[in-house]
Amino acid sequence: MLHFESRTNGAIMLPTAPLPTAQGLLGATGLKMFIHHENRIPTEAGAVLVVSNHRSFMDAPVLIQALRQPVRIACHHYMSKTPILREFIQLLGCIPLESSGSRQQGFFEQAKSLLQSHQWVGIFPEGASPMLNLTHPQEIQEFQRGFAHLALKTAIPDLWVLPVAIGSIEESLMPGFPVRLLSLFDPSEPLFERSGSHPVVVYQRINVLIGRPYRISALDRQRYHGKGAKEVVNQLSDYCRQEITDLLRLSF
């Protein structure tokens, strides 16, 4: 049975579409999840862009269940082409990215539309690399800055960026499968050209720590559309990465 322990008081939203799928998957694994700082979740916000670290296939349902929101999470292109996985991500409401090397215009337009309709969108800025190259639970890789561009381009008066840290306390490693198999579903991805197995991390106990949300201000947007574009993008990206890094240090 899935076990939750909240360390702070916070508003809880009623379950909607992807929530039963997320809870069913996590419950089947016997996961114990401890949620910290729920009071930081901006439940009254017009729209929220969730940013998190990424090591396991369980991260998407973990975010959905921990935040009690039907977060529309970006997933790798190959998942939308792979039987069974394709149906699973549809149940979770995930948004597939486009093939590697593209400018992701289709994804960005879909994500902007969702945010403008006051839905929640989730992104793993580390990309797929931590999924293929097993990392320590406290290790976090460099962030791709696409999420910052998305947040600053989207014309919403009340948009918040919410950093969330998923800290594994206890986990197991399932037998992997050849990475090259994934190239059958996405031949454009250079990560799939290497030999070796794809690690499959299964969480047994985790801490989910909610970071301090960052509100996108009118000044941020003004700087983004002017000479301060690079600076404000770096500022938002660095803020989220540092927030998650600090939270991971507290997760053990």
pLDDT at 19: 87
Alpha helices in the chain (DSSP H): 18-29, 59-67, 85-92, 105-116, 129-132, 146-153, 218-224, 229-249
Q: Are strands 72-75 and 95-96 parallel, antiparallel or unpaired?
A: parallel
First to last CA, the chain: 23
CATH number, domain containing residue 228? 3.40.1130
Altogether, the residues listed in the chain come to a count of: 252
* pLDDT of amino acid 2: 47
Render each residue's pLDDT in the chain as its tens digit; 252 residues. 344 443 443 333 333 478 888 988 898 999 999 999 999 999 887 799 999 999 998 999 999 999 999 999 998 877 777 777 778 888 888 998 876 666 788 889 999 999 999 999 999 999 877 777 788 888 899 999 999 999 999 988 889 999 999 999 999 988 777 777 777 777 877 777 777 777 789 999 999 999 999 999 999 999 999 998 999 999 999 999 999 999 999 876
Q: Is residue 6 part of a domain?
A: no
Residue 64 in any domain: the answer is: yes
Q: What is residue 102's predicted lDDT score, i.e. its pLDDT?
A: 65
Q: Is residue 102 part of a domain?
A: yes
Q: Looking at the domain assignment, is residue 162 inside a domain?
A: yes
In a domain, 173, yes or no: yes
pLDDT at 174: 81
- Residue 230 within a domain: yes
* Residue 110 domain boundaries: 27-250
Q: Decide if 5 is inside a domain.
A: no
Where do we find the tokens 């910290």?
36
How many domains does the structure of the chain reveal? 1
Give whole-number Cα distances, 101 to 51, 98, 150, 156, 183, in Å: 22, 8, 18, 28, 14
Residue 14 lies inside a defined structural domain of this protein: no
CA pair distance 93, 71, nearest whole angstrom: 8
pLDDT of residue 7: 42
